[in-house]
Structures are given as C-alpha cells and as structure tokens.
Amino acid sequence: MLLAAVATGCATPGAGDHADLTPEAQAYAAHCSACHALPHPKRHSYPEWQTLVAVMEQRMRERGIPPLDEQQRGAILAYLEHNSR
Ligand code: HEC
C-alpha cells in the first residue's frame, strides 16, 4: 500500500486514464467495482454514501471479501465527499 504518496488536492478524476486518478479515486475504483459496475459518485449525496458504504461493507463480509480497513474507508469516503452531488 503506497497510498502515502498522497495527492494534496481534490482534483476531479478524469474520465480516462487511471494514471490521472487521485489515490482516493483509485481506492474507490478498486473496492467498489468488485460486485457491480462502479456507481457514479453523483448518484447519491454524501450522507447517503456514508450509509451505503457501511451497507457495502456488510455485503463484503457476507461474501467473504475482506472489509475495508481504516485507510481504505477514509480514502473512499473522502473521494465521495468531494465528488458526490
Ligand atoms: C461484496 C460485493 C460488493 C462490493 C465489494 C460493493 N458492493 Fe455495492 N452492492 C452490492 C450488492 C449485492 C448490491 C445490491 C443492493 C444490496 O444488496 O444492498 C449493491 C448495490 C450498490 C448500490 C446501489 C444501491 C441503491 O439502492 O442505489 C450502490 C450505490 C453501491 N452498491 C455502492 C457501492 C460502493 C460505494 C462500494 C464500495 C465501498 C460497493 N458498492 C462495493 C455488493 C457490493
């Protein structure tokens, strides 16, 4: 895990190249597309996302996928906070 090579800003991830994605966007893409297509961040408000991520962690446990660690959850929620509607 080299997420410590942190980007400081909240650059909006481009639609294209993964190399352009912030570590937060990469965490989101890596952990939230395992079971279904990656949901667009504008699909929900940030409070809705907070609830949803908790539900999705429950789904991960049900399927025997390791749930998110603190750092992963923090990165994903930071991404959603900055990119939700
Ligand atoms: C272990 C498999 C799994 C993973 C990993 C997963 N999901 Fe899901 N997701 C589901 C299932 C199953 C549903 C269908 C609805 C339900 O059962 O809650 C779903 C539904 C959704 C929905 C639609 C819910 C709605 O009512 O609009 C969203 C949005 C979503 N997931 C977001 C995420 C996000 C964000 C992540 C990453 C943190 C994630 N998912 C990771 C299994 C997963």
pLDDT of residue 20: 79
pLDDT of residue 5: 41
Q: Which residue has the tokens 């949901």?
A: 39
Query: CA-to-CA distance for 64 and 74, rounded, in angstroms?
Result: 21
Q: 10-residue block means of pLDDT along the chain (85 residues)?
A: 43 54 96 96 98 97 95 98 96
**24 alpha carbon to ligand 1 midpoint, in Å?**
18
pLDDT of residue 65: 93
**31 alpha carbon to ligand 1 midpoint, in Å?**
10
CA 73 to ligand 1: nearest atom: 38
Q: Are 42 and 84 in contact (CB under 8 A)?
A: yes
Query: Using CA positions, which residue lies closest to atom 24 of ligand 1?
Result: 52
Q: Where are the domains of the chain?
A: 42-85
Q: Is 10 exposed, middle or buried (0-12, 13-18, 19+ CB in 10 A)?
A: middle
- Which of the listed residues 35, 57, 70 should we mutate to test ligand 1's pocket, taking the one with most ligand atoms within 8 A of CB? 35
Q: Are 57 and 49 in contact (CB under 8 A)?
A: no
pLDDT of residue 17: 53
**Cβ neighbours of residue 45 closer than 8 Å, sequence gap 6 or more:** 84, 85
